[in-house]
Amino acid sequence: MSIYLLAIETSTEICSVALSKNEECIAIVENEQGNSHAEKIILFIDEVLQRAELKKSQLNAVCISGGPGSYTGLRIGTSSAKGLCDALDIPLIDVSTLQSMAWGARERYPDQKQYVPMLDAKRMEVYSAVYNQQLQLVEDINNIILDENTYATFLSQGKVVFSGNGAAKAQPLFSGNPNAVFCPAKTSARYVLALGYEKYLRQDFVDIAYYEPFYLKEFRPTKPEIKGL
């Protein structure tokens, strides 16, 4: 019996939806324009299903890229995933955004031992973590401010693969180090599928009613500046 999983990735400026049959990604739609998640997500879900000639009722589970990342993006992706799971009565699978990025970096650089996915936060700040070859956490997920000494210990131990939209901040700081490798892989629902399938086999699901994405930092809305007010 085939297992069909739908993955939603909206943690960054990239809106990405993918569909897999067992371990194989059979359809994917992505858009990197940013600020279009709300209007694109449902269209992308319908499109990947049409490409695979699959009905929603044939889905076995939905995988969500669960953060950290953009507060608004995560909310949109989570709401869409929950709505599907609730309507179809299928499970929801949470996949760490950073771990999925590490999976993508490992796919491109399979022989390295250390992977550091980075999500752009603000100024020189990134959301980041360190994973080993087995994609196990070596250093916990955190928000850090980059400088020349960040990850110096890991860089002294061998090659470190940096990836994600936050890696652009690290490149000027670490490019002189021969152990620093910069990978173009960003966020993608395809990477979420790979880890989601493993969780599906383990029946590692979340409670849809209580699930919330991992924001890492509390959302603080700002008041727009309007002249005369």
The 10s digit of each residue's pLDDT in 7-23 is 999 999 999 999 999 99
- Tell me the domains of the chain and their CATH numbers: 4-96+187-201 (3.30.420.40), 97-182 (3.30.420.40)
The 10s digit of each residue's pLDDT in 94-129 is 999 999 999 999 999 999 999 999 999 988 999 999
Alpha carbon 91 to chain centroid, angstroms:
19
**Residue 183 carries which side chain, given as an amino acid letter?**
C
pLDDT of residue 218: 59
The 10s digit of each residue's pLDDT in 28-68 is 999 988 778 999 999 999 999 999 999 999 999 999 999 99
- Collapsed DSSP state (helix, strand, coil) of residue 191: helix
**Residue 189 carries which side chain, given as an amino acid letter?**
A
The 10s digit of each residue's pLDDT in 141-174 is 999 999 999 999 999 999 999 999 999 999 999 9
DSSP letters spanning 1-37 = ---EEEEEE-SSS-EEEEEEETTEEEEEEEE-SSS-H
Q: State the CB neighbour count (10 A cutoff) for residue 214.
A: 16
pLDDT of residue 219: 47
State if pTM tops 0.95.
no
